Amino acid sequence: MSSDALKLYNTLTRAKEEFRPLDAANVRMYVCGPTVYDDAHIGNARPLIVFDVLFRLLRHVYGESHVAYVRNITDVDDKINARAAERGVSIRELTEETNAIFQDDAKALGCLEPTAQPRATEHIADMIAIVEKLIAGGHAYVADGNVLFDVPSWKEYGGLSRRPLDEMLAGARVDVAPYKRSDMDFVLWKPSKEGEPAWDSPWGRGRPGWHLECSAMSWRRLGEVFDIHGGGVDLVFPHHENEIAQTRCAFGHKVMANYWLHNGFLQVEGEKMSKSLGNFVTIHELLTSWKGYSWPGSVIRFAMLQTHYRQPIDWTLARLEEASVRLSEFRARAYTAPVCEPSRRLIEALSDDLNTPEAIVELNRLFDDLKRHPLDWEKAGELKASCEFLGLNIGQVDLNQMLRAARGDLDETLIERQISARHAARAAKNWAESDRIRDELARLGVALHDNKDGRTTWEVRR
């Protein structure tokens, strides 16, 4: 394994492996996307950001035109039906509205648009085709209008999650039904109730099971076998386990995807995120008003990348505040720098299983070098390019968004941070950025006074 080879931790083998694509001219990655019934929460932001970084890295290594990234949209689901009924709107109206918010959130977080974002409802015929293959192969059966996957028919079931049977039964939240041959059997197709979405099939009008949807969309968009399948660690079982079972039994291959990547859990201020605990945070809330003020997408992204993607992350106000300060400092030193290539060390860090904490160490090293050599525009360009490679925008920011609290007040801590960023800009002789920060603060009613002793004081003028 060469030192600069791309290495990824494969959940399937429980080992870090050198990435070897099936076809270097057509690298293919599938990541489970949102079920569009409600605003995406901050936990959903993690796979968005993690796999966007991987997408960027793959494009860097193999070329932009040689990488396909598919992230699906689940637009048929029990949760969607229930939420539409609760709000008194059509399913189509709900899914269109929710997906539009999700797309805006992803863009605000600095995520590139995937190569394709198929909707489940566009691939019903493909789902039916897979079910027919499974029935013909003896891996599925029809019972009371349902079609179920026969888990005991496939001896390799459980190879991804590696759980004992009793744990799999508990984790799957098994539906008890008299027509099931085995408690582990899961639904591929089920009859639709009155008012629910329904499609004609050989087994009557109905709709697909959740797991089947991703098998169909990945197959049609990327092929029977592809390179990388990703998602949150919560999807390992039962979702990804069931995807593997369906796809391998339908097409007869030894794998569905060669590499399975999963990001870790997220908690908020030391506790599991829950609406009942009052700490449930959506991406949209973070972008518009959380803990008193709005957070730019790059700050959220930077805060997320400080923890390795496979490790659990504790989402805190302090984490966001620290990320905000550091990005302001980077911006002050480098936002007007000329375009150049990202740091080689940064690429090496990302090539080691997306080691973003080590990549950030490299950003800090470049920044420290710039403090010692403020006129080194080559180094400044390297810092800027490295930030942008990670999807971090260090161009101009809207200080009004940063400083204006939801209640209409100004946050003194953030004002002091912007003054610190202005000092950094002045030290780097970046007069344009220094003036910009001063002028933006002035527009918010904050007047700065530069004293002879080098300190800067401020006052609010309404």
Q: Does the pLDDT value for residue 274 go beyond 60? A: yes
Those residues with Cβ within 8 angstroms of residue 434's Cβ, 6 or more apart along the chain or in another chain: 332, 422, 425, 426
Q: What is the pLDDT of residue 294?
A: 83
Interatomic CA distance for residues 404 and 65, integer angstroms:
42
State whether residue 261 is helix, strand or coil: strand
Secondary structure in 3-state letters for 187-215? EEEEECCCCCCCECCCCCCEEECHHHHHH
The answer regarding whether domain 19-263 maps to CATH 3.40.50.620 reads yes
Those residues with Cβ within 8 angstroms of residue 171's Cβ, 6 or more apart along the chain or in another chain: 161, 163, 237, 238
What letter represents residue 155's amino acid?
K
pLDDT band at residue 440, thresholds of 50, 70 and 90? confident
What are the strands of the beta sheet with 140-143, ordered from one edge?
Answer: 140-143, 146-149, 186-191, 206-208
pLDDT digits (tens, 9 = 90+) for 337-364: 877 999 999 999 999 999 999 999 999 9
The mean of the pLDDT values for the chain is: 90
The beta-strand segments (E) located in 331-400 are: none
Q: Is the separation of the CB atoms in 31 and 230 below 8 Å?
A: yes
pLDDT band at residue 434, thresholds of 50, 70 and 90? confident
Interatomic CA distance for residues 257 and 9, integer angstroms:
14
* H or E, element range at 460: strand 456-460
Q: Tokens for 233? A: 């660690």
* Nearest Cα residue to 332 out of 424, 203, 261, 406: 424
Average pLDDT over residues 142-153: 96
- Residue spans of the domains in the chain: they are 19-263, 266-460
119: left (phi over 0), alpha (psi -120 to 50) or beta: beta
R_g (Cα) of the chain, nearest Å: 25
Helical pair 241-251 and 124-136, crossing angle rounded to 10 deg: 70
pLDDT digits (tens, 9 = 90+) for 61-105: 999 999 999 999 999 999 999 999 999 999 999 999 999 999 999
The beta-strand segments (E) located in 257-310 are: 257-263, 266-268, 271-272
Q: Does the pLDDT value for residue 400 go beyond 80? A: no
Pairing of strands 266-268, 313-315: parallel
pLDDT digits (tens, 9 = 90+) for 148-179: 999 999 999 999 999 877 777 765 555 668 88
Query: Token pair 């019972």 is at which residue?
Result: 143
pTM for the complete prediction? 0.86
State whether residue 139 is helix, strand or coil: coil
